[in-house]
Amino acid sequence: MDGILPLWKPKGWTSHDCVMKIRKLYKTKKVGHTGTLDPEVEGVLPICIGQATKIVQFLTETTKVYIAELTLGTATETEDAHGEVVEEVKVSKVPSKQEIENVLQSFKGEIVQIPPMYSAVKVAGKKLYEYARANQQVERPKRTVVIHDIVYLPTDKTSETINFKVVCSKGTYIRTLCVDIGKRFGYPAHMSHLIREETGAIHRDDTVDFDTIEEACNNGRGQELLLPITKGITHLDTFYVDDEALKQKILNGQKLLIPDQIIHTNPFKVMYGDELLAIYQIHPEKEHEIKPVRVFHE
């Protein structure tokens, strides 16, 4: 079986738990997820099966959409609702709708984040959460991420909570974003709730839960739940070929002269009609050639 399983990851499961469960249900080891979601976060987690595992890195790099809730007045060691409280301040002045919208808009564009100590970012070969659990301090590397859009979502919840929708690049820590937004209001803050609504072209409406997956696999219909591999790489431009001999060269992983067709992304996908043949890139040393990054055999 080859394709993308658009899983709605439930709360309480790690991304690795999901992969292990799907390996058993689909009876294959060729399963990979496309970007870790914390155990207490639910949402879109595309799972690549079979040849689709070849696009994991490309799907991981896509834009993500989240619905987040931050709570003002309380900071935790993990920057979310599940860590030990490290600071508490009474919220004496609740920000107005206009103030909230102004602060959120100030985060649009490129921003610099310092990853939380309880994260999987590696420093000197160890994950930050390993240092945190050992009570060791270490300098955390700054990273630049992109907030494409961020919108306030008014709710009838308590005045200390702020809900927003954010469209962001790979590698954005929403926990850290919540903390930084709180600082702009002059309060400690943490992320109190998070849902991932979209990963690339895969939306919440595309997803299936584990009950649906189990039923389909038990009835021999697991393949019916899989999205085509191309659904995970819609952000890559397409080079169409219609020559059978050229198709065979591509399936054999040969380097080729750069095509006349204008291609806007590097890498890009190569299609023969509706058939995905490969992902190619411009040769890093020979600008007039293209070379394969991934090849998809029938």
Distance of CA 122 to the CA centre of its chain: 18
Cα–Cα distances in angstroms (integers) from residue 226 to residues 13, 52, 175, 262, in the given order: 21, 10, 31, 31
Catalytic residue among 2, 38, 80, 180: 38
Among this protein's residues, is 206 annotated catalytic? no
CA dihedral in degrees (130, 136, 141, 143; nearest 10)? 60
SS3 readout for the chain: CCEEEEEEECCCCCHHHHHHHHHHHHCCCCEEECCCCCCCCEEEEEEEEHHHHHHHHHHHCCCEEEEEEEEECEEECCCECCCCEEEECCCCCCCCHHHHHHHHHCCCEEEEECCCCCCCCEECCEEHHHHHHCCCCCCCCCEEEEEEEEEECCCCCCCCEEEEEEEECCCCCHHHHHHHHHHHHCCCEEEEEEEEEEECCEEHHHCECHHHHHHHHHCCCHHHHCECHHHHHCCCCEEECCCHHHHHHHHCCCCEECCCCCCCCCCEEEEECCEEEEEEEECCCCCCEEEEEEECCC
Query: Among all residues, which ones are annotated catalytic?
Result: 38
